Structure 1
Amino acid sequence: MLPSAPYPPAGTGYWGPVTSTINWCEEDYYATIYSAEIVNTITNLMFVILAWKGIASCVRYGHDAVFLVGFISYLVIGVGSMLFHSTLIYPMQLLDELAMIYLMCILVYAVFSHRKTPLARILIAPLYPVFHQNMFALLTTVVVLRSMWIMESLLNPTRRERDGKIDAVEQKRRDERDEKILRTMWRMNYIGLSYVAIAFGIWNLDNIFCGTIRRWRREVGLPWGILLEGHGWWHILTGIAAYNNLIWAIWLRYCRDGKQDLVELDWPSTFTSMPIVVGVKSQGKEL
């Protein structure tokens, strides 16, 4: 048997009674009076760490400002979720939920406002948020599918129009370049969607079998019971998936602007590193 310590009893916390409309399967205030759900709080550090990585890359390489705002919103999601799970009070629940809605607003704006007139951008910005609040899941699907369609129509040599102004050698180089980019983008999407699917599966198991899971956690004790905190895994997996989605959006924006040769994806290992869009030397210049 692995060494373990028994779980302390659930207690009352510094922040007063629970007022949120949702309370997750992790027991309340068993570790400290200052955090209602300690594992759910700490796992949000995934958002904070990746947000800083994304913000730093936007500043260093000068990516479009909409993506800098997107990573700041991603950071707000992590901080808001930490505050919510620490306190379980209703105002912090709103901060957690609304931050996710506004991040999706920014991604929709980034996808649908590209190369639109200034007036069209102004109209898009205020109209989408109200709609998002009612159709968040649907719009998430629409954004992903729209981006996939753009990716295929733009980068797949068999589906895009040929540029008659370039010779066969240059056309072949572009086709090979874009096929490689397309394969990597699809890999990013497969991984991101798989993580989200696994996260949703764990989420549902956590809700349906909460009583059983709580009993198992107490049987195995600490620290091993932490591995059975399903909502914590939700934070980790969706945090990675959302980060990948933002990086994909940045890379796709460069492709839409015809600037594939100015950037590349730095992703040393699929499962042990996080991707980042970096500038490369091209024609004596560096992004």
Structure 2
Amino acid sequence: MAANLLSRLPSIPYGQPKEGKWSPVTSTLNWCEEDYVMTVWAAEIVNTTTNFLFMWLAARGIRNCLSNGHDRIFLIAYIGYLLVGTGSFFFHMTLKYPMQLVDELSMIYTTSLMVYATCTHRTSASWRISLAVFLFLLDASVTAYYHYLQDPTFHQVAYAALTAFVFFRSLYVMEVNIRPKFRSEERKAAIPRPSNGVKAVQERQDDRDYEILRKMWKMIACGLGIFLGGFAMWQLDIIFCSTLVRWRRNVGLPWGILLEGHGWWHLMTGIGAYFYVQWNIWLRYCLNFRQDDVKLMWPQITDMPLVVRQTKPYANGRGSGNQNGSAKKNA
């Protein structure tokens, strides 16, 4: 029905696939977008240009980390996020195997950084070193085996497993350390309950934390929903590729661009990943008992959330502290 409606609008006919500046294709993957139809300079122009959102959100995240003194691991994660978008840009532009490796393996490396960030908070130096060595060896093994196997399914399974781990680990850490009824012993020691019967102080802390959890769950629902929506669009693009190609040609340009499922995957997963890192930045402050040092800037659901400092950071990235105390960084 949508294709029929679009076909009634003014449009430009699609051209025929042709040789491009980067021909021949050497990647082990080729997506549903027809190659070199709109320009000879990019094999898949829609899949190429949709990565600009990745790059813009990465730059926004990098600037946010630098201007607010967030933990260094999140700055590195956003740099990795920028590498993912840039690698995907060049992969879809050229459809060359080396660019495919840059695109896909940077996804593994960036997710491994988030594994490190999620699993090393308030841990010993020996544990952090051991985990870093393990993740390095894991990533090296995935790289070597994927290059040997050249099976995209292996990469997709590895990426999905790492992503699922960091997501559910972050959920567990959030609930156990922020929700008042699950208060950890460490938190009880850092923020003792008032012993003089001032119940209002306890209630005020609990209300603050419940409000933080409410906003965090809203961020999670939005980010995860957008991410999974992008995955669904990608799968539809794979399953119904021949039908979608026919529809695109029927409706012409620019309307056919709306039927590029892998392009929607780029846009939606880029937004979902951005939400995830911002959530973890905020979560890290809460784990350091510094909830009052930051606030979430998210005026409406259509905006990109941003965690900003309410206190001026010192040169080394630490805040000025508050009644909840401050904690030493681990990354």
What residue number does 1:149 align with?
172
What residue number does 1:179 align with?
210
Corresponding residue SS for 1:101: helix
Is 1:108 aligned with 2:115? yes
What residue number does 1:170 align with?
201
Question: Could you tell me how far apart the structure 1 residues matched to 2:249 and 2:310 are?
Answer: 52
Question: Could you tell me how far apart the structure 1 residues matched to 2:296 and 2:96 are?
Answer: 41
Structure 1: runs of 5+ lacking an equivalent: none
What residue number does 1:81 align with?
88
What residue number does 1:279 align with?
309
* Aligned with residue 125 of structure 1, among 122, 129, 132: 132
Q: 1:165: how far off? A: 4.0
C-alpha contact 2:112 2:162 (8 A) present in aligned 1: no
Corresponding residue SS for 1:20: coil
Q: 1:119: how far off? A: 2.2
Corresponding residue SS for 1:94: helix
CA RMSD of aligned residues (A): 1.6
Give the AA of the match of 2:117: A
C-alpha contact 1:279 1:286 (8 A) present in aligned 2: no
Question: Could you tell me how far apart the structure 1 residues matched to 2:226 and 2:276 are?
Answer: 12
C-alpha contact 2:87 2:99 (8 A) present in aligned 1: yes
Question: Could you tell me how far apart the structure 1 residues matched to 2:175 and 2:130 are?
Answer: 28
Structure 2: runs of 5+ lacking an equivalent: 1-7, 143-153, 313-318, 322-331
Q: 1:286: how far off? A: 6.8
What residue number does 2:183 align with?
160
Is 1:40 aligned with 2:47? yes
Question: Could you tell me how far apart the structure 2 residues matched to 1:233 and 1:172 are?
Answer: 44
What residue number does 1:10 align with?
17
Corresponding residue SS for 2:181: coil
Question: Could you tell me how far apart the structure 1 residues matched to 2:12 and 2:39 are?
Answer: 16
C-alpha contact 1:263 1:278 (8 A) present in aligned 2: yes
Question: Could you tell me how far apart the structure 2 residues matched to 1:136 and 1:206 are?
Answer: 20
What residue number does 2:234 align with?
203
Question: Could you tell me how far apart the structure 2 residues matched to 1:120 and 1:153 are?
Answer: 21
Question: Could you tell me how far apart the structure 2 residues matched to 1:235 and 1:101 are?
Answer: 16
What residue number does 2:279 align with?
248
Question: Could you tell me how far apart the structure 2 residues matched to 1:29 and 1:136 are?
Answer: 29
Q: 1:72: how far off? A: 0.3
C-alpha contact 1:57 1:276 (8 A) present in aligned 2: yes
C-alpha contact 1:250 1:277 (8 A) present in aligned 2: yes
C-alpha contact 2:293 2:309 (8 A) present in aligned 1: yes
Deviations 1:59-79 (A, max 9, x none): 000000000000000000000
Question: Could you tell me how far apart the structure 1 residues matched to 2:166 and 2:266 are?
Answer: 21
What residue number does 1:140 align with?
163
TM-score by length of 2: 0.82
TM-score by length of 1: 0.95
Give the AA of the match of 1:156: R
Corresponding residue SS for 2:182: coil
Relative distance call for 1:286 and 1:6 in structure 2 (3 A) is farther
Give the AA of the match of 1:147: S
